[in-house]
Amino acid sequence: MKFVDLGMQFAAYEAEIRTEMDKVLRSESFINGSAIAELEASLSNFCGAPFAITCSSGSDAILLGLMAKDVRPGDEIIVPAFTFIATASMVSLYRARPVFVDVNPQTFNLDPDEIAQSITSRTVGIIPVSLYGQCADMEAINSIAAEYGLWVMEDAAQSFGASTNGSMSCNLSELATTSFFPAKPLGCFGDGGAVFTNNKELAEKLKLLRNHGQKQRYSHKLIGINGRMDTLQAAILKVKLSYFIKELDMRQAAAERYNTLLADYVELPVLQEGNTSTWAQYTIRVSDRDNVQCRLDEAGIPSAVHYPLPLGQQAAFANLPKGMPTPVSEGLAKSVLSLPMHAFISKQNQIKVARELKRILND
């Protein structure tokens, strides 16, 4: 059993993917080939954000967003304490300062009630993460941001395809970013990402920034990076995007099956009212997590911990001033466990996961 079975997905679309890849190989347009603009139009159409700018990874998408917002050294940016490091490390890389704020104990997303006390005169923006595939409470976060004059950029690396009260992730704030890392719900065959915005000026700027600040070759308006997506990855994503709605349904069905199988044994994932999830992860909470994970492994069942340390405890951030306490994040880091989850997971495998988990927990 695999944690994410990319082989099954490839087998399902292989002929189409190969055809699209071949077109790119014959075109010799490996950089900014026609698949890039086609994919961007489809991504924008899918989530409703007026502008989609593809780029080299989800991490670079965050960096490009910070660059587009003219973040200055020393600026403070609110991020959740419980997320993948890139949400915060891109802030530090750009010489600004991530400020870790605790998350909601039910949804594991940035807790709007905890934000205000961490805002200072240096705070410029908020990067909420839509963790495990469900949107952060963007409405509450947007309203705090408006009150304090801050920008909001949703880190939707796990949630492209999710919705909240009928609006799609990546179209819930001025800026949003996503990742097409292979294991994400919509993944390519390498690294890739995108930035989304509803602001035309920002969109133009992002297009410059991802390509060395140039529009015409060797005429550089801004200091930028090489942050482009490969045409090959765009061609692959075009095919996968055409099946993505179907895959989201398959993920939803798999999540519901886990819910039924596991209801009496573990703390199930909780969705905020009005939210749908991409189920980037199906993550339960158990006590004695490390032991449970070890015994699942012995039974041939892969699992994963997203994430074993709150960001404030990472060595890479040891030089940051101590912020507010983040007890919820600390508790989650010790108790969360993600189970095998992908669109093609079989009922038999889910039953096996549930059976082994029950056996271990009843021991």
What residues line the site for ligand PLP (CB under 6 A)?
A: 57-59, 83-84, 86-87, 129, 155, 157-158, 179, 181, 191, 193
What is the nearest approach in angstroms of ligand PLP to the Cβ of residue 313?
17
Q: How far apart are CA 191 and CA 268, in angstroms?
A: 31
Contact 61, 214 (CB under 8 A): no
What is the nearest approach in angstroms of ligand PLP to the Cβ of residue 184?
6
Rounded to 5°, angle at Cα 219 from 54 and 223: 60
Q: 303 vs 350, which CB is nearer to ligand PLP?
A: 303
What is the nearest approach in angstroms of ligand PLP to the Cβ of residue 205?
21
Contact 272, 107 (CB under 8 A): yes
Q: 44 vs 54, which CB is nearer to ligand PLP?
A: 54
Q: How far apart are CA 3 and CA 350, in angstroms?
A: 11
CB neighbour list of residue 298: distance below 8 Å, 6 or more residues apart: none
Q: 69 vs 262, which CB is nearer to ligand PLP?
A: 69
* Residue number, nearest CB to ligand PLP: 58
What is the nearest approach in angstroms of ligand PLP to the Cβ of residue 359?
31
What is the nearest approach in angstroms of ligand PLP to the Cβ of residue 302?
18
Q: How far apart are CA 58 and CA 156, in angstroms?
A: 9
Strand 163-164 versus strand 167-168 pairing type: antiparallel
What is the nearest approach in angstroms of ligand PLP to the Cβ of residue 155?
5
What is the nearest approach in angstroms of ligand PLP to the Cβ of residue 253?
23
Measured from the Cβ of residue 146, the count of other Cβ atoms closer than 10 Å reads 10
CB neighbour list of residue 184: distance below 8 Å, 6 or more residues apart: 58, 157, 158, 160, 178, 280
Q: Integer distance in angstroms from the first to the last C-alpha of the chain?
A: 23
Q: Single out the residue of 80, 89, 199, 96 nearest to residue 130, CA to CA.
A: 80
Q: 130 vs 142, which CB is nearer to ligand PLP?
A: 130
